[in-house]
Amino acid sequence: MSEIITNKTATEMWQNLIHGASELCHQPLDEELESYLVFMLMRHLQDTGLANRVLAPDYLNGMQTQGQSGIQQLQSVADQCLLFSGFYPMHSRRRLVKARYYVDLGRSAYMQMADRVRQAYVQLYENLSRHFVEMMDVLQALRYSAHAEQMDSLMLIENWQDCNSQYARQLLQERYAQADIHQQEKIKH
């Protein structure tokens, strides 16, 4: 019997999962973005009240609050937007908004943070804003590879057209290539 238990830390396991999902969706992330995703997941996945939050008021409050408290509020909003658009994409449908809402709000929150933080962190938050969709794609690849679920075609089309998600485009191409193969097999028989 093979040994399943490993002595890897939670951080190493999340890092391996993120790296594998990044390869699966053909969205390589640099070390900084990969690390940010790992620690963001570790911070927020135990948050039981996550699904009940309304982010727009929190975003506005973070914009109006000065200092570290405002930065923390903006980071919380941006991270939650990344989680909702990437790891919990059906959340947007239940809230009757497109994934683009979370992408735009999250990008904006990260950019606002870049404007407020010390010079050492500006590049990080600008990168998070710039690569938001790629990180969303990695989280979606992680979610759907682990749960053997599929996003429906409408959500994939919205993510591709509204957010320029290359992972959604890839999945649509694969899905419709398979449909063409099945159609051709039916014609032969």
Contact 18, 138 (CB under 8 A): yes
Which of 145, 106, 146, 160 shows the shortest CA–CA distance to 128?
106
Is residue 5 pLDDT above 60, yes or no?
no
Question: What's the CA gap between 16 and 27, in Å, rounded?
Answer: 15
Percent of the chain with pLDDT over 70: 88
Is residue 101 pLDDT above 50, yes or no?
yes
Question: What pLDDT, in 10s, does the model give residues 36-63?
Answer: 999 999 988 788 777 778 899 999 999 9
Contact 124, 144 (CB under 8 A): no
Percent of the chain with pLDDT over 90: 53
Which of 40, 32, 33 shows the shortest CA–CA distance to 11?
40
Question: Which pLDDT value is given to residue 11?
Answer: 87
Q: How confident is the model at residue 178 (pLDDT cuts 50, 70, 90)?
A: low
Is residue 119 pLDDT above 80, yes or no?
no
The more confidently predicted of residues 25 and 185 is 25
Question: Which pLDDT value is given to residue 1?
Answer: 38
**Mean pLDDT score of the chain:** 86
Is residue 183 pLDDT above 60, yes or no?
no
Which of 122, 36, 32 shows the shortest CA–CA distance to 86?
36
Crossing angle of the two packed helices 55-64 and 99-116, in degrees rounded to 10: 20
Question: What's the CA gap between 134 and 149, in Å, rounded?
Answer: 20
What are the start-end ranges of the H helices in the chain?
Answer: 10-24, 31-44, 55-64, 67-82, 90-94, 99-116, 119-130, 132-147, 153-163, 166-188
Which residues have a Cβ under 8 Å from the Cβ of 180 and sit 6 or more positions away? Answer: none
Q: How confident is the model at residue 7 (pLDDT cuts 50, 70, 90)?
A: low
Is residue 35 pLDDT above 70, yes or no?
yes
Question: Which pLDDT value is given to residue 2?
Answer: 45
Token couple for 25:
């969706």
Domain ranges in the chain are: 10-47+54-149
Token couple for 174:
């694969």
Is residue 135 pLDDT above 60, yes or no?
yes
Contact 86, 138 (CB under 8 A): yes
